[in-house]
Structure 1
Amino acid sequence: MNKPTRSQAIKSRILTALVLIPLVLAGLFLLPSQGLLALGLFLALVGGIEWAGLIHIHGAGRLLYGGLVAGLTYVLTQVDPVAVALVAGLWWVLVIAEIPVFRPQTDEPAFRAAHGLAGLATLAPALALLVDLVQDSPWRGLAVLVAIWAADIGAYGVGKAWGRHKLAPHVSPGKTWEGLVGGALLAGLAGGVLAWQAPLEVGGPAVLAAVAILVALIGQVGDLSESMFKRRAGLKDSGQWLPGHGGLLDRIDSLTAGVPAFVLCLWGVGV
């Protein structure tokens, strides 16, 4: 099978996004509270199944691991969200410390067990917090998504046009410092515009712009984290069911770090 050209890949990516974005918006604003919880648990199940593939769990074991992620996600929805976000923040500090010393590991049992625990720490808190965030205010859920989407678009565009200095070449060779800055600035702009137009009650456009910039920067840690696990597994994407995007993990990697950061930022500014 021929590998798609860059233009074909971009076209597939755009077409998939045009389908997904209306579905995401409908979920944010139309689903009742229990529907949002069910959707969050479904995403946790699918994300867990994909993560199991990254650590070479096969057969029924994948479904079992996915169920474990979904179960922990449900438990965390019953816990104070700030407490969940604080614990998640500690996890991401550990991930940041690992990035500079990352090396593609062999399939050693000890590393597989550690990576299994890492999947729980990565997915369950973020998805539980996202469910809680949207149940509290669909607009706040949209705000964190817009920050991450804008960061992805800005990082890709600026990185392709002006990227010269590699961010973490041993983890993700395509990422650049220029792309990181461009993505953060676009996220800040998008956050400011959204706060200006939407009933967010987060302290005004300047506050949400600053929060969006922080979320965009920290979200890149989630992206790099998934890249580390994919490199260790020898995979380019976590799945293949989203044309041009890969799998679910490839779409929510930045959110896994960005959502806890968003919750902590709102807590920090007292909203």
Structure 2
Amino acid sequence: MLVENDASAGSTAKSPRLALPPPTAIRPVLVWRLILGVLLVALLAGLAWADFGSARPGLMMSPLAIAGAFLSAGELVRLFENNHQTPAPSRYLVVPGAVATVLASLAPSFWPFGEMPGAALTGRVGWVAIGLAASCFVVFCAEMRRYREPGSATTRLALAIFGIAYAGGLMGFVAQLRLLAGGPWGQDGRWGMLALLSLIVVVKSNDIGAYFTGRMWGRTKLAPVLSPGKTWEGAAGGFALSTVATMATLGPLADLLGCDSHRTPAAWLGGCLSYAALVGAAGVAGDLAVSLLKRDAQLKNSSTWMPGFGGVLDLLDSILFAAPVAFLMWITRCVGP
């Protein structure tokens, strides 16, 4: 703890005071975070509004998923490259593989000739798996061609496949949330829009609630080695705010979008509580997962081009981890129609 001893004219010293950091040391980061945060929210809101009226659900928002996979995969490779104890995979394999996985998950919805062959048998998640399998095949072929001597091929293969699965496979689940349609979901994609927005709202409200609660009342460390700033008190505050946000999303916002769940009040409330708890917890785990990767690479941020946020991976880490959990809860009808 930094202290100041303010000596008087004599030999008696006054009580020590906390030496607070100058406001100028904090202000630029907060300003950039506010500016970029407002711009990102405006971009998301604009694309969501345009996509909601699109003839093909997800068409207007798919570039966000593709860009997210592209940038996240590149930042993962940067983390691998900074860890000099292991050989890093080629970004020219990881980045295209992640993007290809997302494109495969979107393929059935944007197939221009009616229903895509095999789409009904493959199912929603099957195309994500197909994209992953194809990308893994390409990575193996590239390493076989590259191989000269033992000692590094297996590590590069493992890291490349991990990067593709993380940045591309998990982003594929984000895309699948938007593409929920057919059967009880209707054909116009409004439930898919609600599912996607619920994921983002729950995860980010959990982050905000945990941050402010932890700053004010946080005492008990949640993960002192990986993320010293996280506390159990903050986690409780994050759950409280995400619960309120879930109820607002699956209540008034659902009514605004024309989504009527026909659930009893008790079933609706139980779904909101379980959704906020499980999706929020998955988001916290995703944040800690990227903290693990950054600490192992001895880097503070996944990138440096987004002042106040660090990088795209720092922005998307909680969403990527929470997406499969949210998708499972929607398709099992824990929430929704």
Cα distance, 1:73 vs structure 2? 2.2
For 1:169 and 1:143, locate their aligned partners in 2 and report how far apart those are by CA, in whole Å. Answer: 30
Cα distance, 1:13 vs structure 2? 1.1
Q: Could you list the runs of 5+ residues in structure 2 that have no partner in the other structure?
A: 1-23, 109-121, 130-150, 181-191
Instruction: Compare CA radii of gyration and give the structure with the larger one.
Output: 2
1:56 aligns with 2:78: no
Counterpart of 1:80 (choices 97, 102, 123) is: 123
Cα distance, 1:11 vs structure 2? 2.4
1:266 aligns with 2:266: no
Task: Name segments (4+ residues, structure 1) moved above 4 Å.
Answer: 57-60, 82-86, 108-113, 200-203
1:124 aligns with 2:188: no
1:37 aligns with 2:62: yes
Cα distance, 1:144 vs structure 2? 0.7
Give the structure 2 partner of residue 186 of structure 1: 241
CA RMSD of aligned residues (A): 2.9
129-138 or 172-181, larger mean C-alpha shift: 129-138
For 1:153 and 1:185, locate their aligned partners in 2 and report how far apart those are by CA, in whole Å. Answer: 11
**Paired letter, 1:55:** F
225-234 or 57-66, larger mean C-alpha shift: 57-66
For 2:63 and 2:35, locate their aligned partners in 1 and report how far apart those are by CA, in whole Å. Answer: 26
Cα distance, 1:80 vs structure 2? 3.1
1:220 aligns with 2:284: yes
Alpha-carbon displacement from aligned partner over 1:168-224 (angstroms, at most 9, x marks no partner): 112111111111121111111111012221224455455234312221111111111
Q: What TM-score do you get using the length of structure 2 for normalisation?
A: 0.66
Asked if structure 2 preserves the Cα contact closer than 8 Å seen for 1:150 and 1:183, the reply is yes
Alpha carbons of structure 1 residues 76 and 135: separation in structure 2 relative to 1, 3 Å: closer
For 1:117 and 1:267, locate their aligned partners in 2 and report how far apart those are by CA, in whole Å. Answer: 27
Q: How does 1:13-28 map to 2 (within 5 A)?
A: 13-28=33-48
For 1:55 and 1:113, locate their aligned partners in 2 and report how far apart those are by CA, in whole Å. Answer: 12
User: Structure 1 or 2: larger helix share?
Assistant: 1
Counterpart of 1:176 (choices 216, 223, 231) is: 231
Cα distance, 1:59 vs structure 2? 11
Alpha carbons of structure 1 residues 174 and 207: separation in structure 2 relative to 1, 3 Å: same
For 1:177 and 1:85, locate their aligned partners in 2 and report how far apart those are by CA, in whole Å. Answer: 35
Cα distance, 1:129 vs structure 2? 1.6
Alpha carbons of structure 1 residues 156 and 115: separation in structure 2 relative to 1, 3 Å: farther
Asked if structure 2 preserves the Cα contact closer than 8 Å seen for 1:222 and 1:254, the reply is yes
SS in 1 for 2:307: coil
Cα distance, 1:126 vs structure 2? 2.2
For 1:55 and 1:201, locate their aligned partners in 2 and report how far apart those are by CA, in whole Å. Answer: 46
Q: Could you list the runs of 5+ residues in structure 1 that have no partner in the other structure?
A: 87-107
Percent identity, please: 27
Asked if structure 1 preserves the Cα contact closer than 8 Å seen for 2:81 and 2:88, the reply is no
For 2:243 and 2:293, locate their aligned partners in 1 and report how far apart those are by CA, in whole Å. Answer: 29
Alpha carbons of structure 1 residues 143 and 257: separation in structure 2 relative to 1, 3 Å: same
Asked if structure 2 preserves the Cα contact closer than 8 Å seen for 1:147 and 1:191, the reply is yes
Counterpart of 2:97 (choices 47, 65, 68) is: 68
Asked if structure 1 preserves the Cα contact closer than 8 Å seen for 2:77 and 2:89, the reply is no
Cα distance, 1:76 vs structure 2? 3.6
For 2:215 and 2:161, locate their aligned partners in 1 and report how far apart those are by CA, in whole Å. Answer: 35
Alpha carbons of structure 1 residues 182 and 147: separation in structure 2 relative to 1, 3 Å: same
For 2:294 and 2:234, locate their aligned partners in 1 and report how far apart those are by CA, in whole Å. Answer: 21
Q: How does 1:135-214 map to 2 (within 5 A)?
A: 135-136=179-180, 137-199=192-254, 200-201=259-260, 203=263, 204=268, 206-214=270-278
Q: What TM-score do you get using the length of structure 1 for normalisation?
A: 0.81
